Amino acid sequence: MCGRVDHQIGKPVQAVSIGYRHTASKRSDFSLLIRRFNPLKSDRLLGTLLLMILLLQESLDPSRRKPWSQVQFFPPSTMLVDLLLGPFGAGLLVAFSVNFGKSGFTSIYGLFAQEKFGYGPREVGLVLMVMSLMYALAQGLLVAPLITRLGEINLIRLVFPFLSLGFLLILLSGTTITLTLSICFFMLAMALLKPAALSYLSRIATDTQGATMGIAESFMSLGRIAGPLLAGLAFDVNLNLPYLCGAFFFAALGIMNLRTARFQRSFPASKSE
């Protein structure tokens, strides 16, 4: 009897330890449903919305604003194609790369650390905690000064090679300290990329800011789906392959940025240039 109970308990514990959700009964499914519909989350979202309405100022110049009678709520069907082929195409590609690289890395990091370093849940969780802390500090303390000093375009151009180097440093790490430092370096660069990309798109989209930002979020969601999928497939081939592919991907974006004339024309000079 004890062996059967241990076996039943072991299944959800094992599932949680490798990152999959396991529910043992309908009761646990119901409790999960209740937690998802937490009213406190709705209150926080409503409070955030009110603060945005009260404190944030309209970024669009008054001379470029349209009266409500001329506002087009439903963009034309060709707008997506026009955005991809126009000056927004490079910015949307950067928006895709943000979550493509970040979600691809985090999705297989636990398996990579377990296979290469023999880490357990404690060690993996500790490194992820440090990674999240670095990400939050970078976005809170470095993004605004760097964008003000360098401009969005120069910052994006600077981040691409650092992201590629970050993937390679993770592969070359041999100890916990070097691995943690390499991941912090990678997350520092990743934390700078998303705000710079969104700031750039918001600045150049004068009459279609809402639609452009919505499409940018869609591209980020697409990257969030494609990143873990491709990283998992690459990991099944070789545990180092996802990081090699990530290094190649961002190196290719950096080369396109520096060498391709069309890509450079997609990035007009920012205010600081």
CATH classification at residue 119: 1.20.1250.20
Region of 114 (left: φ > 0; alpha: ψ -120 to 50; beta: rest) is alpha
Q: Does 13 map to a domain?
A: no
User: Is the model's pLDDT at 267 over the cut of 80?
Assistant: no
Closest CA to 231 of 241, 221, 223: 241
Task: With beta carbons less than 8 A apart as the criterion, state whether 110 and 124 touch.
Answer: yes
- Integer Rg of the chain from CA: 22
Domain count, the chain: 1
Q: Does 204 map to a domain?
A: yes
Q: Does 129 map to a domain?
A: yes
Arithmetic mean of pLDDT over the chain: 75
As separate numbers, helices (DSSP H) first and strands (DSSP E) second, the chain gives 12, 0
Closest CA to 248 of 170, 175, 165: 165
Lowest mean pLDDT among 36-45, 104-113, 123-132, 151-160: 36-45
Q: Does 86 map to a domain?
A: yes
Q: Does 73 map to a domain?
A: no
Burial string for 65-92 (b: 16+ CB within 10 Å, else e) reads eeeeeeeeeebeeeeeeebeeeebebbb
3 state DSSP class of 227 = helix
User: What percentage of the chain has pLDDT greater than the value 70?
Assistant: 66
Q: Does 238 map to a domain?
A: yes
Q: Does 245 map to a domain?
A: yes
Q: Does 53 map to a domain?
A: no
- Determine the structural domain holding residue 102 and report its residue range: 80-265
